[in-house]
Structure 1
């Protein structure tokens, strides 16, 4: 007779981490018969595979591209990112202000580990970017939800709570083309948030993977342009290719030094090969600007196709966001449809989405909401996907 196996003990902290419904959905929506509007996946036909292959071939002529690199990142890439961020922020950024990470999700995790102790309060947007919620839960932080409206984070609500004694260690925001709501923080709120950070001494984590994807070609001015207590997170995933797994953070020197030390514990360094590829593509400004311009134009067309299809099939039955960039449309069903219950019916019709409940950070229920990604498919397939969703809803 086999001796019963004692369950392997796991940390108490792990029990606080909510699983990602989006990652779980990717397994279900990987079926060939399903059009998935669930993941934030760039369009496969927009990924510059030939240009990446050319850069990879050149990188492989240098033995350094297959060797370990500095923990903070390959010097050439840090210099390119510093130039890129200097142009975005409007003040000088030095290469020493940059730490390259394995995607911006690792950057967020390292910042949380550098700044937070268990029990520390953090403020997030509600609805929240799921990856941020998982990181802060894993850190043992107390998560406090702040509302959003069409102009982004309600900074006035944060100001009221600060005046009443709330003292967060950090405030996390996806200020430009928010995931999942798609809204963008107004310029006045950006200035006010930076001023509050200076006054009350908290850190603002400006998570900015979508800023360059403004449909009008004018990225919103970063919050970091207005203050010093801001760390910016960036990524090549949405503007070049996710598989490169190249992200970065730009922040105060005390923070970047702490993050570098923690990254040594995590993975020693990011891939030298993909850093070399990314450095070439980002530094080729003529190519990069043309490539991103093409992605923006195609995303604008796809967003229009999706929203037009939603308006045609659902009419007044839903209230939706109007994207001006990024990758997402947010729907709310006026009849109170439970989108979690709708999802299996939608999968049965061959379409996937993310129920709004996956993004809940506070007490506000999102049971009748859904996030749809318009970037993955061309317009004709988006229309078919919305048709399938409408069929499931009517059923």
Structure 2
């Protein structure tokens, strides 16, 4: 009689398309105290309003209800304040019934994929792409097409070419404002062109907007959703208040909200009422929130300027840094043939981390670019980080033919 153990059942087929986020994998390395990280897209913990959150938490906990379940769609008071803020941003009234609160905006993406996408459905994303969206879309077994970005955001003309060639996407995903990873913002003209195409061809637009309030070069154009009701808007307090609150919001038409609420019941029943109560009070205090956001914009603007100055000084002639008018990221492009993937381990040896552009690739592999996050470090630390990066750039790459440096 055989004593062999039975073979374990296989995982679901959708798992074959998934791979770990290169950014998440880097976090273990960047936790080293000797490494200055330009990798993870994190807010500065010293700028998180800890004392205000502590005070609001203590006040909220005076009621036992704060520790109870809440509606699947989210706490009513939070949905109302989100609706009021969105009404201002969209220059049109938004009813609280069109708001669903989620466990961060990433959950909203995941729930939308379940609601809108059958296996094989066509989706269009920007190239380079937000990695969180790619993970969701690959898990949904979507067919992913790409359109490139330039200094004015998504090349909507290239999307029009795909549509003219017969492609019929179910949805188009865009980080239109302060793109992750490129940092660019879609122009107002292209936003209007995008919704015109959505209206003509019948696809939905998912406008992922976690960074829109972090401007320091002047307010960005009106949200894409201001031009068309088929746009689904996603936002989050992770970058403006605190990631640990895990509060995101989706604004969509009632049929999409109802469907998302239905699948959310099967995912987690509801999110934390405690953190929703905290977020609702913070967002509703407009004078405090305006002052807090102004402080973030000013400080992050100084850090973006410090990063630009350091890149010009340390890497001038070998790399260029894209425009930074807000958000959290700068896109560094080497003009001397440097392979950013090969540079990364050398940079880590020099005590600095970044994310290679290839981590955001869908079709092509952009090995000559890197995403730099400027929000986590002070201006002095950013200057030190770029100096370390420049030293790594001058160093030889182990294993390279003839021991050439990254400059060759």
- Report TM bin, short chain: over 0.9
Quote the residue 1:177 is aligned against. Answer: 178
Shift in Å, 1:339: 1.1
* Mapped pair 1:125 → 2:126: yes
Residue 98 (structure 1) aligns with:
99
Question: What is the CA–CA distance in structure 2 between the aligned matches of 1:220 and 1:293, rounded to whole Å?
Answer: 18
* Aligned counterpart, 1:367: 367
Q: By how many angstroms is 1:197 displaced?
A: 0.7
For residues 216 and 314 of structure 1, do their structure 2 counterparts lie closer, same or farther at Cα, with a shift above 3 Å needed?
closer
Given that residues 223 and 230 in structure 1 are in contact (C-alpha distance below 8 angstroms), is that contact kept between their aligned partners in structure 2? yes
Distance 1:321 1:372 in 2: 11
Q: Secondary structure at the match of 1:332?
A: strand
- Secondary structure of the residue aligned to 1:294 is helix
> How far off its partner does 1:319 sit?
2.0
TM-aligned CA deviation for residue 160 of structure 1: 1.7
Which residue number corresponds to residue 247 of structure 1? 248
Residue equivalent to 2:392: 392
Cα deviations by residue, 1:372-395 (Å, 9 ceiling, x for unpaired): 000001100001111111111110
Whole-Å separation in 1 of the counterparts to 2:7 and 2:61: 48
**Per-residue deviation, 1:9:** 1.8
Unaligned runs of 5+ in 2: 396-408
Taking the TM superposition and a 5 Å limit, the aligned residue runs for 1:110-121 are 110-121=111-122
Q: Does structure 2 retain, via aligned residues, the 8 Å contact 1:237–1:244?
A: yes
- Secondary structure of the residue aligned to 1:213 is coil
CA RMSD of aligned residues (A): 1.2
SS at match of 2:149: strand
Cα distance in structure 1, aligned partners of 2:332 and 2:219 = 26
Give the deviation of 1:214 after TM superposition: 1.0
Aligned 8 A contact 2:168 2:201 in 1: yes
Show the counterpart of 1:16: 17
Count of residues in Structure 1 that have an aligned counterpart in Structure 2:
394
CA displacement 1:57-81 (0-9 Å, x = unmatched):
1111111211111000000000000
Aligned to 2:46: 45
Instruction: List gaps (5 residues or longer) in structure 1.
Output: none
Which protein is bigger by CA-based radius of gyration? 2
Cα distance in 2 for partners of 1:336, 1:265 equals 49
**Structure 2 residue aligned with 1:29:** 30
The one-character-per-residue Cα deviations of 1:272-322 (angstroms, maximum 9, x if unpaired) are 000000000000000001101100000000000011101100101012202
| Alpha-carbon shift at residue 217 of structure 1 (Å) | 4.7
Q: Quick check: 2:181–2:329 contact (8 Å CA) kept in 1?
A: yes
Cα pair 1:211 1:220 within 8 Å, conserved = no
Whole-Å Cα distance in 2 between the matches of residues 200 and 374 of structure 1? 39
Contact 2:218 2:325 in 1 (8 A): no
SS in 2 for 1:311: helix
Maintained 8 Å contact 2:311/2:320: no
1:248-267 to 2 correspondences below 5 Å: 248-267=249-268
**Aligned-partner SS, 2:56:** helix
TM-score, structure 2 as length reference: 0.95
- Aligned residue for 1:351? 352
Q: CA deviation at 1:33?
A: 1.0
What TM-score results when the alignment is normalised by the length of structure 1? 0.98
Mapping 1:49-198, distance limit 5 Å: 49-198=50-199
- Residue aligning to 1:380: 380
Asked if 1 retains the 8 angstrom alpha-carbon contact of 2:176 and 2:186, the reply is yes
> Does the CA contact (< 8 Å) of 1:316 and 1:334 recur in 2?
yes
CA–CA distance in structure 2, aligned partners of residues 8 and 290 of structure 1: 55
Supply the distance in 2 between the matched residues of 1:388 and 1:7 (Cα, whole angstroms).
48
Aligned to 1:334: 335
- Secondary structure of residue in 1 paired with 2:270: coil
Counterpart position of 1:230: 231
User: For residues 264 and 2 of structure 1, what CA distance do their matches in structure 2 show?
Assistant: 43
Partner residue in 1 for 2:275 = 274
1:278-293 pair list within 5 angstroms: 278-293=279-294
Residue pair 1:217, 1:293 contacting (<8 A) in 2 also: no
Q: Partner of 2:213: helix, strand, or coil? A: helix
Deviating above 6 A after TM superposition, structure 1's stretches of 4 or more consecutive aligned residues are none
CA contact (8 A) 1:321 1:331 kept: yes
